[in-house]
Amino acid sequence: MIGLSDVRAAAARIAGKVVRTPTLHSDALSRATGAHVTLKLDNLQATGAFKERGAANRLALLSPAERAAGVVAMSAGNHAQAVARHAQLLGISAVIVMPKFTPLTKVSRTAGWGARVVLHGEALAEAAEHAHAIARDEGRVFVHPYDDPAVMAGQGTLALELLEDAPDLETLVIPVGGGGLIAGCAVAAAGIKPGIEVIGVEVAAYAALAQRLAGLPVSVGGATIAEGIAVRDIGTAPLAVIRAHVADVVVVPERAVEEAIALLVEGCKTVAEGAGAAGVAALLAFPDRFAGKRVGIPVCGGNIDSRILANVLLRNLLRDGRLRRLVVECPDRPGVLADISGKIGGAGGNIIDVSHHRMFASPSVQTAELEVMFEARDAEHSAEIVRMLQQTYTIRLS
């Protein structure tokens, strides 16, 4: 089991090779959650995620013979980019095996760091098997994304920096995939500030740690926006550390992760991927648990596809009532479209999209259906616009 000395040694080893990212108090998140929230912005690493810490430490410990042989890793993205980047910095050959479903942005960025990318398998487990086969066939060193003491110690440098910058924190809320980050951070936190509470966060579809701690068989799978922590099981080495140093783990729904991503963008001007926003999602899903506490949260990754980010923001606008879609049944005569548009605009609404149907959707040849999407200040403003339109027209909400 790693200790604080291992984390401190890793910090010295990787100094200057990774960014010492900012630690910032967030008024927006504190108001939204009722906790006193401090963020550690590891989405500002060169590859956009905390994984550089563990990869830099692990590769720095390679022997000359291992460096000459090269490395191989498997990952859906962030670990891949981290290994590729630090292998390039050290002049080491790297092969990265990624599942076929991996977002194109992560594939291209990994290749951009000079690694040979191999797309193999439908899931991480199949990619891992292929990576191990390459390690055997080519004599390369396999760099595990989380089940490795050197990787865990490197990831723990995040908490080391966080608690140096914000020593008054009472609780750390850490996303959990394979367990490397929370294990390293828990060791660092326990060594620096005994008694500090460390809580893990998993998404509902991949709650392996929660099942392990409850003594249940692990059953995971399904679609999630937090693909960075969509891991089949907890690593053996991290699990031992977690049992010793982690107070609890909470499981958050997909909706909370989407809301956290949107809140970070709108309230903190910070881009986070699903896994990177999981800590904030825990505060949104369980506000009573963290109310009034001084909570530290790593925004541990920002590598989200632009299209997915746009969809998350739009879905959040719909949930908040700031974006509204209506079907208006109206007389099929000149000037009606202008009247409806004028009413919405006059009430302060901003029309986003209009679709006018006469031939097929209308209940009568004398009527038409108008699909309108508009933007409002908030849910109450949206409701006011709907009530105003209902005074003249028949409205169907959708």
State pLDDT tens for residues 243-256: 999 999 999 999 99
Q: What are the two backbone dihedrals, phi and then psi, of residue 20, each rounded to the nearest 5 degrees?
A: -85, 95
310 CB contacts (<8 Å, ≥6 apart)? Answer: none
261-288 residues labelled b (16+ CB within 10 A) or e (exposed): bbbbbebbebbbbbbbbbbbbbbbbbee
Q: What is the pLDDT of residue 166?
A: 98
All domains of the chain, ordered by start, with CATH?
4-49+149-315 (3.40.50.1100), 51-142 (3.40.50.1100), 321-397 (3.30.70.260)
Record the tokens describing residue 329, joined without a space.
């049944």
231 CB contacts (<8 Å, ≥6 apart)? Answer: 124, 146, 177, 178, 206, 208, 220
Q: What is the pLDDT of residue 124?
A: 75
DSSP 249: E
Its pTM stands at: 0.90
Residue 288 or 76, more confident: 288
Query: Do 13 and 270 meet the contact criterion of CB atoms below 8 Å apart?
Result: no
Q: What is the pLDDT of residue 122?
A: 84
Q: What is the pLDDT of residue 360?
A: 52
Q: What is the pLDDT of residue 102?
A: 77
Helix (H, G, I), strand (E, B) or coil at 372: strand
pLDDT tens track for 72-114: 999 877 999 999 999 999 999 999 999 887 777 778 889 999 9
pLDDT tens track for 35-77: 999 999 999 999 999 999 999 999 999 999 999 999 999 987 7
